Structure 1
């Protein structure tokens, strides 16, 4: 036993020394092969709608966020605010925005800080996310909404995807009265850390922060690289069962390196997990009184379906949950049947709000 303890201590000390004295590599974006690039060139990444206009918004600390909107605000009585998930960019969702606009929605999209076309925290390491506290995300979105001067008759519904769904929940909980409802696709109320238990992952990330390694990627992480090498292959384990949309992010990131985001850093991951604990405290979810629609994938490797279902059934006062069979976490990248069903649920949500 004593020998095992000594070996364990040596291992921990070695790890700390390696972290402290191993220099961070200079940033070098991943370079795809010629064969991979040829697949990307053949892959369809839909353009933004013809009436789409890109704009920028300056946050309270001077961070510039990229956003855009469809040109039909005057004709629409509901504005959807699309909040992409972790690493995601609005550039992936031109088709989805167009389809929602065809259904009569005024669609606004917002790239969260550090993602898409928004400012990066580290100029020397642009793929690494950083926030001092996760509340900055909901504060950013709240300030953005206030800047839009929506009229009182306009219905405001954030459409949050995964991490974006977490931000949308915090928006509704931290800034009550700003939105009329929430549409959440596989929201990360409780994110997963692969095979590692939630609490153990948080302890590990906090330990790395305590020894000055906040900026480092979590173990095994790195800058962006493609999910797979074959664009004809899809599967739930890869995030979506639909090869026609699964590779949207990789195709965009291949051709637009400036929009890439890498894996989780210790700082960002720890703040995310602590925010998860915060919103799961007794009374927080119960305080969110607006109508909510939660879409879940049948098999989700990134968020806890059990937590989402429990939150919807037992804690969120006005919530409807739908699980889509044969789907993975990236629900917007699934088949037309799934995407259209989700859009129909959003329409139903908007109609229920307007009917009150």
Structure 2
């Protein structure tokens, strides 16, 4: 059966022409969307781009374009509950998942498509934020990638020491009393880039990239979501705890962490990379959470390192020392 075409908004700022999107059905009956871009000429492989919470395929158009210029195809996923994938609640503004491991069903459907349309091998992975948590479990469980990279990975969610016990308690108790689809305190129904101006934002220091995010959502507000539900928070905290007890996979890995990171727990990232055989942690000076959407200088350096990782049998380990 031929894959079914889906909309791809390549009229938006930052989205290159020439991509293709597909509707997929997961094994539990959820419809998700996957986008694919190919390079010109012979491809050097395919990068599986796993976005973070609230994100959508088109946001990674710039990333796909840069990878294409370096010879790689890119596959990007709209996770269940966001982008144009099926929303799981009547209030489509809420970010929600029933079980965190349900995201693995989305990735499995995307991998089935990758084989069906014969995307070029080898496969590599970039997992950003929530996608870093999803990607870590997938690589641990045998996802067939030659190497993996993570940017601001959600291997822990930052909460102050005073707030953390309250966050754990609230996210576990609220679903028991029928309040699991409520927003956690301090979160909003509006998406982050809609609700926050550039000044003081936690995502990027680059005004043009933040403006791109704002313009994309303004052009297609149906792509955006707001805060997570308390069930999502519960599931994410439990997944981070579960993964923390498992050994790191023996797959070449580089993780990029902005020196101005405020969203995920940096200590959890350091602890993971300290016990990743041959893994490398890069602290990106001056960057915030979204290092792939930072200044041109930062992006160029990161893509150079990604290209080395994706083309070296050793994942570039022999070329760089650990920086942390």
Shared fold (TM-score, shorter chain, > 0.5): yes
The answer to whether the aligner puts 1:56 opposite 2:20 as a matched pair is no
2:173 match:
207
1:242 match:
206
Q: Which has the larger radius of gyration?
A: 1
Q: What's the CA shift for 1:167?
A: 0.9
SS in 2 for 1:75: coil
1:149 match:
115
Aligned-pair Cα RMSD in Å: 2.5
Cα 1:243–1:136 shift into 2, 3 Å: same
Q: What's the CA shift for 1:300?
A: 1.1
After TM superposition, list the pairs within 5 Å mapping 1:247-258 onto structure 2. 247-258=211-222
Q: What's the CA shift for 1:49?
A: 2.2
Equivalent position to 1:337, from 289, 297, 300: 297
Contact 1:194 1:302 in 2 (8 A): no
Equivalent position to 1:300, from 247, 261, 269: 261
Higher helix share: 1
Q: What's the CA shift for 1:255?
A: 2.3
Distance 1:321 1:331 in 2: 13
1:77 match:
44
The answer to whether the aligner puts 1:130 opposite 2:96 as a matched pair is yes
**TM-score, with length taken from structure 2:** 0.86
Cα 1:246–1:82 shift into 2, 3 Å: same
Equivalent position to 1:318, from 278, 282, 291: 278
SS in 2 for 1:295: strand
Q: What's the CA shift for 1:346?
A: 0.9
Q: What's the CA shift for 1:253?
A: 2.0
Unaligned runs of 5+ in 1: 1-43
Q: What's the CA shift for 1:295?
A: 0.2
Equivalent position to 2:247, from 260, 273, 285: 285
1:218 match:
184
Cα 1:128–1:194 shift into 2, 3 Å: farther
The answer to whether the aligner puts 1:88 opposite 2:25 as a matched pair is no
Unaligned runs of 5+ in 2: 1-10, 317-324
**TM-score, with length taken from structure 1:** 0.79
Distance 2:170 2:234 in 1: 9
After TM superposition, list the pairs within 5 Å mapping 1:265-276 onto structure 2. 265-276=229-240
Contact 1:234 1:246 in 2 (8 A): no
Distance 1:142 1:321 in 2: 28
Cα 1:354–1:322 shift into 2, 3 Å: closer
Give the number of aligned pairs. 305
1:260 match:
224
Q: What's the CA shift for 1:201?
A: 1.1
SS in 2 for 1:247: helix
